[in-house]
Structure 1
Amino acid sequence: MNFIPVNVPLLEGNELKYVTECITTGWISSEGPFITKFENKFSEYIGQNHGIAVSNGSAALDIAIKALNIGKGDEVIMPSFTIISPAQSVVTAGAIPVLVDSDPVTWNMDVSEIESKITNKTKAILIVHIYGLPVDLNPIIDLAKKYNLKIIEDAAEMHGQTYHGKMCGSFGDISIFSFYPNKHITTGEGGMILTNDDGLAKRCKKLRNLCFEPDGPRFIHHEIGWNYRMTNLQAALGLAQLEQIDSFLVKKRRIGHIYNEKLQFLKIKGFLLPEISTSYAHNIYWVFGLVAPTEEEKNRIVNVLSENKIATRPFFWCMHEQPVFKEMGLFAEDKYINAEKMARNGFYLPSGLGITEEELLRVVDVIEHAY
């Protein structure tokens, strides 16, 4: 019986050809033609004027926050239920994350809570699209206009997803993507910043490159930045992956539909399955998640799967319950019931692009036998 990992990437296009070209030409560092090609092709695909390739999605968030001049004492509204990266970028900039709960159906931030959290210190709303369905964006866009706020769109998990037919990642004043191996498009590690603003794009490029002055003498710096550059090797991989995005989306949706069809019986047991669609989007199933009725039941089924050599991953842990933030004195009185339930009871099944239908059906079979 073979082990089924949570994710296996699919590398069956021009990946080897393009990476080999990098090696044979010697362009393996953060200089090289594939970087510009990938930036241009990806920004064109999403529908933004500028793409700035960086070392990872967290780096993209650091740069986005600083490029918008968000700093000490500023407030940024964001979901409690997310990976730590967005909150970490806000906190390390000296700003304050202001959290909202999750929608129990889409698992995204509850947009109805946002307006009540806006103060005269609020500078931005940081959207994080979660797991396969996008945040309901139109109400947030209206609030941003009403209160003169910036939108930072974390579309790390949304490669190819749309909101009312328009690409996710095209709505933010600054948007970011991740190309970690479990994403629809991977560069191993890597990320991208997208914006339509010429000035922001120029600043982001400077911040990713140690704030070298583009027109000044080299090694003279007037501002602190980061070495957050992507390599030509990574960009070559990303370009080859981008060429296959349409087929990747078809496969991801097929994985999700098989699980959804075969696991409907879990609803009777009190489980929540991913919503197939909303009025504004069809799920792209970045991962296929389940929310068990209790933490004990989650642990039981996860253990059964593990005993059968099937890997799972827990859901994100809430920001207001992160020990590191508690030690900083943040979120002392915060409580978000929906986010807490998802964090405690949620997990996801193997659903990477490299999974076979035979493996999918084995996962289903083990879960069926568990009940």
Structure 2
Amino acid sequence: MEGPITTPVYEPEIGEREKEYVNRCLDTGWVSARGEFVDRFEQEFAAYVGCEHGVSVSNGTTALHLALLALGIGPGDEVIVPTLTYVASANAVAYTGATPVFVDSLPGTWAMDPDDVRRVITTRTRAIMPVHLYGCPCDMTALMGIAQQHGLLVVEDCAEAIGTKVNDRHVGTFGDLAIFSFYGNKTITTGEGGMVVTNSPNLAERCRHLKGQGLAHAREYWHDVVGYNYRMTNICAAIGCAQLERIEETLARKAAVAAEYRRLLADRYEFQAEPAGAVHSHWMVSLLVDRAGDRNALRANLRAAGVETRPLFYPVHTMPMYVRSYRRTPVADDLGSRGVNLPSFPGLSQTEIAKIGRVLRRETPMRAAA
């Protein structure tokens, strides 16, 4: 019989400031989608990323849907998406009636392959959705060049990439719109929550209009478009404000966790690479086993030691609802079969990392020198 999990893959850090801000919401009665913290969180998060506008929403998936709707994506359109991503990236495209078109990953960074993007562009292609997987940035110079050449829109999926940068520029500032997630296992959490960021006042206003049931500005209880209830609560925003106050400390601690894993295990495992000139925010520390058949045994042995792990995402185009879109993506298929996410939360102690390291070193011999 398996024992309890003593080291989870992720756990949120909730401190006294979060409790103080939430209690302020409760004491004042501002517990829904209005209150001091909603506007504050939008403004402070947008400023942290480096965008003019932030629009808070109920979760990262609704943020993606809202961003695509704001750009007018709909039936008959195609949106290029990496197949190695969380399923929400593709689902948000499907919600609009558009078609997700899946592309392969790059070895090393595991990010969207720009050459494969070029191969799948058609007359129906409207947008590209780069996904900064596990906190590692895509090649935004190449992808923005492709978008400009073909007149395509760009929606950056930064759900896992708070703190990720390319040449000192935060991801989410390259495309037309970008989204972030604040789910309980993200670098900043609001419990559930998300944010759309943009430098376009018109797109920001479009997002605000749609997220609030399409309520018209000049006429009370008059709705002039089919909208959605995608609003963030003041309580969630209060938690987000508190989390954002210590974001640099959180990122530094996560970077230290990633560095310690690499120090202990780089001679035995391949980790997700960090591109030159980039900052990997290490939302997840992920490695590859040598053979796909080794992964289950390795994870079972870690589980026996009380350590929770997760496999890398399955390539989305292999799932039943998208299998009609099947095309060969050999790199993503290989990564998805060999990858493991390790415990990656900022409070992970060196003692816990050492325990994980002992199990992993026992499982795999040293790699031959390059």
Give the TM-score category using the shorter length. over 0.9
CA drift of 1:13 comes to: 5.5
Task: Give the drift of 1:295.
Answer: 1.9
Amino acid at match of 2:94: V
Matched-pair contact (CA < 8 Å) for 1:108–1:134: yes
Q: Relative to structure 2, which stretch is displaced further, 73-82 or 140-149?
A: 140-149
Matched, 1:236 2:238: yes
Deviates more, 1:278-287 or 1:26-35: 278-287
Residue 76 of structure 1: aligned partner? 79
SS at match of 1:62: helix
Q: CA deviation at 1:217?
A: 3.4
Residue 290 (str. 1) matches residue 287 (str. 2): yes
Deviation at 1:194, TM superposition (A): 0.4
User: How far off its partner does 1:139 sit?
Assistant: 1.0
Equivalent residues in 2 for 1:140-289 (5 A)? 140-218=143-221, 220-267=222-269, 272-275=270-273, 277-289=274-286
Aligned to 1:363: 356
Q: Does the 8 A contact of 1:18 with 1:240 survive in 2?
A: yes
In the other structure, the counterpart of 2:341 is 348
- Matched AA of 1:146: Q
CA deviation string 1:333-371 (max 9, x = no partner): x11111111111111111112322221111112222334
Q: Which letter maps to 2:342? A: L
Deviation at 1:197, TM superposition (A): 0.8
- Residue 325 of structure 1, aligned match among 322, 325, 344: 322
C-alpha displacement at 1:97, in angstroms?
Answer: 1.1
1:20-35 equivalences in 2 (<5 Å): 20-35=23-38
SS of alignment partner, residue 14 of structure 1 = helix
Q: Does the residue aligned with 2:322 lie in a helix, a strand or coil?
A: helix
Shift of 1:157: 0.9
* 8 A contact 2:5–2:308 mirrored in 1: no
Whole-angstrom CA distance in 2 between matches of 1:282 and 1:308: 32
**What SS is found at the alignment partner of 1:289?**
strand
- Residue 368 of structure 2 is matched in structure 1 by none
Q: Distance in 2 between matches of 1:5 and 1:55?
A: 25
Counterpart amino acid of 2:313? F
Deviation of the 1:149 alpha carbon = 1.0
Count of paired positions: 361
| Distance apart, 1:280 and its partner CA | 2.5
Deviation at 1:8, TM superposition (A): 1.4
Measure the CA separation in 2 of the matches of 1:125 and 1:180. 24
Alpha-carbon distance in structure 2 between the residues aligned to 1:345 and 1:323: 21
Secondary structure of residue in 2 paired with 1:108: coil
Is the 1:38–1:235 Cα contact (8 Å) retained in structure 2? yes
Task: State yes or no: 1:10 paired with 2:7.
Answer: no
The structure 1 residue matched to 2:302, chosen from 302, 305, 309, is 305
Q: Contact 2:130/2:157 (CA < 8 Å) preserved in 1?
A: yes
Which residue pairs with 2:67 in the alignment? 64
Q: Extract unaligned runs of 5+ from structure 1.
A: none
**Counterpart contact for 2:128–2:154, Cα < 8 Å:** yes
- Contact conserved, 1:134 with 1:161, CA < 8 A, in 2? yes
Q: 1:133-179, CA deviations, whole angstroms, 9 ceiling, x for partnerless residues? A: 10010011111111111110111111111111101111120100000
Q: Deviations over 1:57-82 (max 9, x none)?
A: 00001101111101111011110110
Taking the aligned partners of 2:250 and 2:176, their CA distance within structure 1 comes to 27
Give the 4+ runs in structure 1 shifted more than 6 A.
none
Cα distance in 2 for residues equivalent to 1:370 and 1:295: 14
**Does the 8 Å contact 1:7/1:354 carry over to 2?**
no
Q: Residues of 1 paired with 2:186 and 2:148: CA distance?
A: 31
Question: CA 1:4/1:100 → structure 2, altered by over 3 Å: closer, same or farther?
Answer: same
Answer whether contact 2:165 2:280 (CA < 8 A) is retained: no
1:167-217 Cα distance to aligned partner (Å, 9 max, x none): 111112010000011111110110000011111111100111111112223
Q: In the alignment, is residue 85 of structure 1 matched against residue 82 of structure 2?
A: no
Q: Tell me: CA distance 1:344–1:362, structure 2 relative to 1, closer, same or farther (3 Å).
A: same
